[in-house]
Amino acid sequence: MTRHRRNVVSLTDVRLPQLRAEITDLRERLQNVTEIFNENEQSFKIIADIAIALQASDTLEALDDIVGGAMIEQSADHARFYVKTPKFHGRETKNIRDIASLDPTTKESISNLVATKCEACRSETYRTLLDVEVEDTVSIAQIPVLHQSVSGILIIGAEDPNFFSNNVGTLYLDFLGRTLACAASRILNAPNVYARAERFDERSL
């Protein structure tokens, strides 16, 4: 009888390791969720700050500074806004360009974009779109900028080829595109926008 009891495996001995494993798994999942939440919170703050700056901008110069500064200083590496709106023709700034300035092949490839697209790209494409020399594979986000009379594409680039992978969520990028479109529409349709643009062009020379 004593020998038989010695060979009996307690239910506690079986379940305890299983419960410990389940608790460890749950702890890891919770940690992952917490990390994702923190990342999303940080991303939301960045986008919110940019949106506020866009809403406050009232000149092409201010808009140009946001595209070339605030949009990349805390996340990506480079950005450029290509405008298709006829009113903008001939009024390029450092980071806001007329889409007509692109070669026909590149222009055609991005002109019909209707949804945000994230992907790795070759250094040649990066150089063409962002005028930046890179040696290795990089990544870009192509974001439609559409509102009323404004039509364009926001290109944001990162030298990390995985930063804008094709499985990246685009919720914040879509919001950024809509906010930029509203700001651009307000500025480009302002009565004295061209006078302000000429002053900015003179200072850029």
**Residue with the larger pLDDT of the pair 8 and 74:** 74
Instruction: Provide, rounded to the nearest whole percent, the portion of the chain with pLDDT above 90.
Output: 30
So what's the pLDDT on residue 113? Answer: 87
Kindly state whether residue 182 falls inside one of the protein's structural domains.
yes
Query: Does 178 map to a domain?
Result: yes
Confidence of residue 15 (pLDDT cuts 50, 70, 90): confident
In a domain, 14, yes or no: no
Question: Domain of 167?
Answer: 39-204
Domain presence at residue 5: no
Total of domains in the chain? 1
Q: Does residue 55 form part of some domain?
A: yes
pLDDT digits (tens, 9 = 90+) for 17-35: 888 888 887 887 777 767 6
In the prediction, which pLDDT does 25 show? 78
Per-residue model confidence (pLDDT) at position 7 = 53
Neighbour tally for 185: CB within 10 Å:
18
Q: Is the pLDDT of residue 76 over 50?
A: yes
CATH code, domain carrying 48? 3.30.450.40
In this prediction, residue 36 carries a pLDDT of: 59
For residue 18, tell me if it sits in a domain.
no
* Residue 76, in any domain of the structure: yes
Q: Is 17 a member of any domain?
A: no
